[in-house]
């Protein structure tokens, strides 16, 4: 089975370290549980004084990222609890794991993410997974896969409902509670347990829709 796994917010704890950088650089104090929306840059920009914007030459949301995620930032991120071990189980069970991620920018974060995976999976160049980086988050739906594990509501709402597994994060709380009818899990480790239990059914080309009796 082909399983697409997002990195930030699913495999790696991007937000904790990003908020630390924001506090350090801009003296803006945002708590993890208060993060909302799909774009961290927009959230930080909205909380920034004009004085800070002028000081750092920040003219638009995306300018925030060069301060929030400097070179090497992604390479040092912590894995979310149990996440790497969970992926190793999927690989061991014979599934094709595809890390499907959108780098914030290509100059540093793309190679940092590749190196992060190399280190955590101790690959020495022989990767037991695929890594696909896309430029637009909307392009994730173009990938042919049986399952997409993600925390981004734009991805979860654009792939077939049965394939969309949502990792619960504060920024998708409202979406989960008001809109999303798919399956949600507190962590990638929990989603993995469910995938392994339902692999046979999930890999069927027509798996009967969200209300199918299997996969509950
Ligand atoms: Mg994400």
pLDDT of 214 reads 54
Residues of the chain with pLDDT under 50: 211-213, 216
Distance of CA 200 to the CA centre of its chain: 25
CA of 112 to the centre of ligand 1 (A): 16
The Å distance, Cα 51 to ligand 1 centre, comes to 30
Q: How far is the CA of 43 from the centre of ligand 1 (A)?
A: 15
The secondary element (H helix, E strand) that includes residue 30 is none
User: Distance from the CA of 131 to the center of ligand 1, in angstroms?
Assistant: 15
The phi, psi pair for 149, rounded to 5°, reads -100, 120
Using DSSP bridges, classify how beta strands 2-5 and 96-101 pair: parallel, antiparallel or unpaired.
parallel
CA of residue 4 to ligand 1 center, whole Å: 12
**Distance in Å, CA 8 to ligand 1 centroid:** 4
Q: What is the pLDDT of residues 7-61, one digit of tens each?
A: 999 999 999 999 999 999 999 999 999 998 878 889 999 999 999 999 999 999 9
Distance in Å, CA 145 to ligand 1 centroid: 17
- Ligand 1 mean position to 184 CA, how many Å? 14
The answer to whether residues 41 and 68 touch, using CB atoms and an 8 Å cutoff, is: yes
- Distances from the Cα of 165 to the Cαs of 140, 168, 179, 185, in angstroms? 14, 10, 14, 7
CA 181 – ligand 1 centroid, Å: 19
Q: What pLDDT shows up at residue 3? A: 97
Measure the CA–CA gap between 110 and 103, rounded to whole angstroms.
5
Degrees, nearest 5: CA angle 99-70-44: 90
CA–centroid distance, residue 102 to ligand 1 (Å): 8
pTM for the structure as a whole = 0.92
DSSP state of 36: -
User: 116 C-alpha to center of ligand 1: Å?
Assistant: 15
| Adjacent-strand bridge partners of 130 | 98
């Amino acid at each position: 089975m082909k399983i697409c796994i997002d990195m930030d917010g699913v495999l790696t704890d991007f937000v904790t370290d990003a908020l630390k950088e924001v506090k350090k650089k801009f003296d803006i104090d945002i708590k993890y549980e208060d993060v909302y929306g799909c774009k961290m840059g927009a959230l930080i920009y909205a909380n920034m004084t004009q004085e800070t914007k002028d000081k750092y030459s920040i003219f638009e949301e995306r300018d925030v990222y060069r301060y929030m995620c400097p070179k090497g930032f992604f390479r040092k991120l912590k894995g979310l609890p149990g996440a790497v071990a969970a992926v190793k189980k999927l690989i061991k069970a014979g599934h094709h794991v595809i890390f499907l991620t959108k780098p914030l920018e290509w100059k540093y974060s793309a190679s940092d993410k590749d190196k992060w995976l190399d280190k955590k999976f101790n690959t020495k160049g022989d990767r037991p997974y695929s890594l696909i980086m896309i430029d637009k988050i909307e392009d994730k739906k173009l990938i042919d896969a049986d399952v997409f594990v993600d925390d981004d509501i734009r991805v979860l709402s654009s792939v077939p409902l049965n394939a969309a597994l949502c990792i619960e994060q504060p920024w998708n709380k409202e979406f989960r509670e008001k809109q999303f009818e798919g399956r949600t899990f507190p962590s990638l480790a929990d989603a993995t347990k469910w995938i392994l239990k339902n692999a046979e059914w999930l890999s069927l080309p027509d798996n009967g829709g969200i209300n199918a009796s299997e996969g509950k």
